[in-house]
Amino acid sequence: MADTVQGRRSGRPALRPPGQRHSGQRPAGPRAANQSAQARAAAFIRRHKIAPYLLLAPALAGIALVLLWPLVQVVLYSFQNLGLPQLTGAAPTQWAGLSNFSTTFADPEFWLSLRNTVLFAVVVVPLTLVLGTLVGLLLNRLGRKMAAFVSAAALLAWATPPTAGAVLFYWMFNPDGGLVDWALSKMPHWLVGSTNWAQYNWTTTGAVQAYTVVTLLVLWTSFPFIAVTVLAGLKTVPAELYEAARIDGATPWRALRRVTFPLLKPIFLVLLLLSVIWDFNVFNQTYLITGFPGNQNEYNLSLYIYDKAFGFPPSYGLGGALALIFTAILLVVTVGYVRSSVRQGALT
Amino acid sequence: MTAAPLPGSAGRYRTARRARAVGLNGFALIIALVTLFPIFWMISTAFKPSQEIYSLTPSLLPTHPTLHNFSQVMSGQASGIGSVWLFFRNSLSVTLATVLIASLLSLLASVAVARFRFRLRASFLIMLLIVQMIPGQALIVALFLDFNRIGLLQNLGGLVIVYAAQALPVSIWMLRNFVATVPKELEEAAAIDGASAPKIFWRILFPLVMPGLVATSIFSFITAYNEFIVALTFLGQAHSEYTLPIYVTYFFNRGGAQWGPIMAASTLYTIPVLIFFMIVRRRLVGGLVAGAVKG
């Protein structure tokens, strides 16, 4: 009976409910062999070929137009002399060969910004991972109320919009009335060194000082995500494993190293790659903390690209070449990310 | 000499455990307070009159709390480009439009990915993983020139298009897991009972993937509400179109060290998200972790 009803309904050329795809796997009734069943099967297959593409089309169009096509354009721009005169039509756009790249590689500011970017990531990524993991482990050990309080606090830090966070940290580290300089100036010299901390300027003194502020800011916003993810991973580790480790005489540290970490390794790998990508991409925070377009020595790669592309005079060709270099660097990391995702069976 | 006498060891063990619990909780309390402090300081500064803000010995709480900073921000006096409510409205409309469009498109796409096996499916998924990594600053040059050409630069609609597309890869990636967990039998049963495809979609699939949609909506919400570089580049000098982050940045760059009003504006920018996040907290953590751990 059910078979007939379904047969009558599905004969309509409407978009098929996706779930029915597998109905063919059900034991075929006696009627399955007749003519209409064959016709239905044909329509089935035909529709199956288009249905997913129809569903996919709008999203794919959006991604293609806003993310993929611009990437192609950036590649084209990087070989052109595209600037303001070319944009307004005052001068023709010409192919410039590799000159954008050679200009970039010959610019010491480029290497400086690359160094800032890499050093920043090298410092911040481990700091974030270690702090986040420690807080995650802590959350796992705490009572319910305390855990809720700490995770709520972490969530609030994480949820604070980066622009508000950056402006806020700039204010806390401000030489005029900022809290940090005041606190440091009140501390004994043996603890904070003999620098005159009152009215100490964090943002324009040098790259190290500015990036100290950026480091604390990024640490503050990004450790909660690591902590919550690690906590979720910890919850999946069966308690019996720890019990067995304890019976075997393992110290807590040893149990952590030999039981927890191996089991959470896939999570750590993803978090590591994500952190590298995020910390390489930092733009908002460095833009505000370094007071862009302020001190060129404080540029990271993102600020350098932005300055070349939209500064005076704007050079979209140079910006394109830089974007390409930047994307290539990130692609190396991304390949690692994709590979680890695929290996974890993310595509199934 | 070597170990505690047996009778006392249980008590000592208990004391040690209690000491450790106190230590652990104390440590947790410090972490929570340090984490909360910047937000507290922002709000506290926003309520301080200027002589307290620049006082040589800053106090934790405002001794003479005032709403002056907020009224300056709301009247538009402090920034000179308009009331904070204008920018609030801009941000809110951009964010809501982004969430709606991204949710709809990613739901359709995730049904395709989770329910069908088709050619290029794996390629599509890998493409999603890769494009979600392309940073905004790599594409901004091309996007700027494209949107300049089609005249959508100083326009909130232009921002919505970019944000929705940027939110799609992660949204599809997260949502497909939720769609995959909806039992196919439910849809099959509905089809047998004579429900049409759109009806099955809205009555069965949609309510069941609602938690997933909430998670992806939160993600699109953050993307749009926080987005900086595209808005900064696109909006340029079109002050009346500014979103909140660009407004705060403009205010900040104007100088004059108006920290009271700037902190008031930042507070008004931040508080709605914080409230929103506390409300959706439970779903948020689950959804984000599912997204992060699975890919």
pLDDT digits (tens, 9 = 90+) for A277-333: 889 989 999 999 998 888 888 999 999 999 999 988 899 999 999 999 998 888 887
User: B237 in a domain, yes or no?
Assistant: yes
Q: Are the beta carbons of B209 and B179 closer than 8 angstroms?
A: yes
Check whether residue B28 and residue B17 sit in a common domain. Answer: yes
Check whether residue B194 and residue B96 sit in a common domain. Answer: yes
- 3-class DSSP state for residue A197? coil
Nearest to A131 by CA among A337, A336, A275: A275
Residues of B in contact with A287 (CB under 8 A): 228, 232, 249
User: A37 in a domain, yes or no?
Assistant: no
Query: Could B141 and A165 be called an inter-chain contact, meaning their C-beta atoms sit closer than 8 Å?
Result: no
As a whole number, mean pLDDT of residues B165-177 equals 91
User: B130 in a domain, yes or no?
Assistant: yes
User: B190 in a domain, yes or no?
Assistant: yes
Answer whether residue A61 shows pLDDT above 90: yes
Judged by average pLDDT, the poorest of A110-114, B199-203, B248-252 is: B199-203
Query: Could B112 and A55 be called an inter-chain contact, meaning their C-beta atoms sit closer than 8 Å?
Result: yes
The predicted structure's pLDDT at residue A7 = 38
User: B1 in a domain, yes or no?
Assistant: no
User: A18 in a domain, yes or no?
Assistant: no
Query: Could A146 and B164 be called an inter-chain contact, meaning their C-beta atoms sit closer than 8 Å?
Result: no
User: B81 in a domain, yes or no?
Assistant: yes
Check whether residue B106 and residue B167 sit in a common domain. Answer: yes
C-beta contacts of A342-348 below 8 A and 24+ residues apart? A342/B126, A344/A266, A344/B294, A344/B295, A346/B125, A346/B129, A346/B294, A346/B295, A347/B122, A347/B125, A347/B126
The predicted structure's pLDDT at residue B148 = 92
CA distances from B145 to A86, A281, B22 (A): 12, 22, 59
Query: Could A77 and B142 be called an inter-chain contact, meaning their C-beta atoms sit closer than 8 Å?
Result: yes
The predicted structure's pLDDT at residue A78 = 93
As a whole number, mean pLDDT of residues B89-102 equals 96
This model of the complex carries an ipTM of 0.87
As a whole number, mean pLDDT of residues A81-107 equals 88
C-alpha B85/C-alpha B79 separation (Å) is 12
Check whether residue B173 and residue B231 sit in a common domain. Answer: yes
The predicted structure's pLDDT at residue B80 = 84
Strand partners of residue A83? A315
The predicted structure's pLDDT at residue A127 = 97
Check whether residue B123 and residue B234 sit in a common domain. Answer: yes
The predicted structure's pLDDT at residue B219 = 86
- 3-class DSSP state for residue A78? coil
Among A71, A305, A342, select the one facing B134 at the smallest CB separation: A71
User: B23 in a domain, yes or no?
Assistant: yes
Exposed e or buried b per residue across B131-152, where buried means at least 16 C-beta atoms within 10 angstroms of its C-beta? bbbbbbbbbbbbbbbbbeeeeb
Most confident of A237-241, B171-175, B245-249: B245-249
- 3-class DSSP state for residue A291? coil
As a whole number, mean pLDDT of residues A13-23 equals 44
CB neighbour class for B17 (10 Å; exposed up to 12, middle 13-18, buried from 19): exposed
The tally of domains found in chain A comes to 1
Between B256 and A190, where is the model more confident?
A: A190
C-alpha B266/C-alpha A167 separation (Å) is 8
Answer whether residue A342 shows pLDDT above 60: yes
The predicted structure's pLDDT at residue A27 = 47
- Which backbone phi and psi does A83 adopt, to 5 degrees? -145, -165
Among B24, B51, B71, give the residue marking a domain's end: B71
CATH of the domain at A322: 1.10.3720.10
User: A250 in a domain, yes or no?
Assistant: yes
The predicted structure's pLDDT at residue A221 = 94
CA distances from A156 to A60, A133, A143, B76, B260 (A): 34, 18, 20, 28, 22
The predicted structure's pLDDT at residue B144 = 94
Interfacial B residues in 59-98 facing A (CB < 8 Å) = none
Nearest chain B residue (CA) to A147: B28
Among A63, A74, A271, select the one facing B169 at the smallest CB separation: A63
Among A59, A277, A338, select the one facing B105 at the smallest CB separation: A59
Check whether residue B109 and residue B138 sit in a common domain. Answer: yes
User: Which alpha helices (H) appear in chain A, and where do they start and end?
Assistant: 2-10, 35-63, 69-77, 84-88, 99-106, 108-141, 144-159, 162-172, 179-186, 189-192, 207-235, 239-247, 252-255, 261-281, 284-289, 301-310, 316-343
The predicted structure's pLDDT at residue A87 = 82
Question: Quick one: CA dihedral A230, A231, A232, A233, positive or negative?
Answer: positive
User: A36 in a domain, yes or no?
Assistant: no
Answer whether residue A64 shows pLDDT above 70: yes
The predicted structure's pLDDT at residue A60 = 95
Strand partners of residue A80? A95
The predicted structure's pLDDT at residue B232 = 95
Please report, rounded to a whole number, the percentage of residues in chain B having pLDDT higher than 70. Answer: 91
User: A47 in a domain, yes or no?
Assistant: no
Check whether residue B206 and residue B266 sit in a common domain. Answer: yes
Among A70, A179, A333, select the one facing B58 at the smallest CB separation: A179
Is residue B40 less than 8 Å (CB to CB) from chain A? no
Shortest CA gap A284–chain B (Å) = 6
Test mutation, B121, B141, B193, chain A, max A CBs within 10 A = B141
Query: Could A74 and B118 be called an inter-chain contact, meaning their C-beta atoms sit closer than 8 Å?
Result: no
Among B71, B94, B109, give the residue marking a domain's end: B71
The residue with tokens 């590298």 is A276
C-beta contacts of B192-200 below 8 A and 24+ residues apart? B192/A2, B192/A5, B192/A6, B193/A5, B194/A5, B194/A9, B195/A17, B196/A9, B196/A14, B197/A14, B197/A15, B197/A16, B197/A17, B198/A15, B200/A17, B200/A19
Residues of B in contact with A87 (CB under 8 A): 145, 148
C-alpha B157/C-alpha A71 separation (Å) is 21
Secondary structure string (H, E, C) spanning chain B: CCCCCHHHHHHHHHHHHHHHHHHHHHHHHHHHHHHHHHHHHHHHHHCCCHHHHCCCCCCCCCCCCCCHHHHHHHHCCCCCCCCHHHHHHHHHHHHHHHHHHHHHHHHHHHHHHHHCCCCCHHHHHHHHHHHCCCCHHHHHHHHHHHHHHCCCCCCHHHHHHHHHHHHHHHHHHHHHHHHHHCCHHHHHHHHHCCCCHHHHHHHHHHHHCHHHHHHHHHHHHHHHHHCCHHHHHHHCCCHHHCCHHHHHHHHHHCCCCCHHHHHHHHHHHHHHHHHHHHHCHHHHHHHHHHHHHHC
- For A21: left if phi > 0, alpha if psi spans -120 to 50, otherwise beta; the answer is alpha
Among B71, B90, B125, give the residue marking a domain's end: B71
Check whether residue B89 and residue B229 sit in a common domain. Answer: yes
Judged by average pLDDT, the poorest of A4-18, A197-211, B84-98, B186-200 is: A4-18
Query: How many residues does the structure list for chain B?
Result: 295
Amino acid type, A331: L
Check whether residue B170 and residue B83 sit in a common domain. Answer: yes
Residues of B in contact with A341 (CB under 8 A): 129, 295
Residues of A in contact with B292 (CB under 8 A): 225, 229, 270-271, 274
Among A48, A274, A306, select the one facing B116 at the smallest CB separation: A48
Residues of B in contact with A2 (CB under 8 A): 192
The two structure tokens encoding residue A165 = 């966070």
Averaged pLDDT of chain B:
87
Judged by average pLDDT, the poorest of A41-55, A139-153, B269-283 is: A41-55
Answer whether residue A45 shows pLDDT above 70: no
Query: Could B259 and A157 be called an inter-chain contact, meaning their C-beta atoms sit closer than 8 Å?
Result: no
Is residue B252 less than 8 Å (CB to CB) from chain A? yes
Query: Could B139 and A155 be called an inter-chain contact, meaning their C-beta atoms sit closer than 8 Å?
Result: no
Check whether residue B128 and residue B30 sit in a common domain. Answer: no
Check whether residue B231 and residue B208 sit in a common domain. Answer: yes
CB neighbour class for A266 (10 Å; exposed up to 12, middle 13-18, buried from 19): middle
Model confidence at B28, in pLDDT bands (50, 70, 90)? very high
Q: Determine the structural domain holding residue A247 and report its residue range.
A: 108-343
Among B168, B248, B259, select the one facing A62 at the smallest CB separation: B168
Between the two ends of chain A, the Cα-to-Cα distance in Å is 35
Between B133 and B245, where is the model more confident?
A: B245
C-alpha A304/C-alpha A212 separation (Å) is 19
Cis peptide before A293 (omega within 30 of 0): yes
Residues of A in contact with B197 (CB under 8 A): 14-17
Residues of A in contact with B141 (CB under 8 A): 74, 77, 309, 316, 319-320, 323
C-alpha A4/C-alpha A11 separation (Å) is 11
The predicted structure's pLDDT at residue B147 = 95
Angle between helical axes of B6-46 and B259-279 (0-180°, round to 10) = 130
CB pairs under 8 A between A and B: 338
Please report, rounded to a whole number, the percentage of residues in chain A having pLDDT higher than 90. Answer: 43
Test mutation, A66, A158, A273, chain B, max B CBs within 10 A = A66
Judged by average pLDDT, the poorest of A165-169, A217-221, B254-258 is: B254-258
Query: pLDDT, tens digit, for every residue of A30-40?
Result: 544 555 665 66
User: A246 in a domain, yes or no?
Assistant: yes
Query: Could A347 and B58 be called an inter-chain contact, meaning their C-beta atoms sit closer than 8 Å?
Result: no
Shortest CA gap B1–chain A (Å) = 23
Query: Could A159 and B137 be called an inter-chain contact, meaning their C-beta atoms sit closer than 8 Å?
Result: no
Shortest CA gap A200–chain B (Å) = 14
Among B133, B168, B266, select the one facing A168 at the smallest CB separation: B266
Between B68 and A346, where is the model more confident?
A: B68
Nearest chain A residue (CA) to B244: A163
Among B106, B139, B289, select the one facing A71 at the smallest CB separation: B139
The DSSP 8-state label assigned to residue A96 in this structure reads: -
CATH of the domain at B139: 1.10.3720.10
As a whole number, mean pLDDT of residues A263-274 equals 86
Query: Could A153 and B31 be called an inter-chain contact, meaning their C-beta atoms sit closer than 8 Å?
Result: yes
Check whether residue B101 and residue B196 sit in a common domain. Answer: yes
Averaged pLDDT of chain A:
83
Amino acid type, B168: L
A138: Cα separation from own chain's centroid: 25
Model confidence at A17, in pLDDT bands (50, 70, 90)? very low
Between the two ends of chain B, the Cα-to-Cα distance in Å is 55
The predicted structure's pLDDT at residue A195 = 77
Model confidence at B99, in pLDDT bands (50, 70, 90)? very high
The tally of domains found in chain B comes to 2
Q: Determine the structural domain holding residue B146 and report its residue range.
A: 74-294
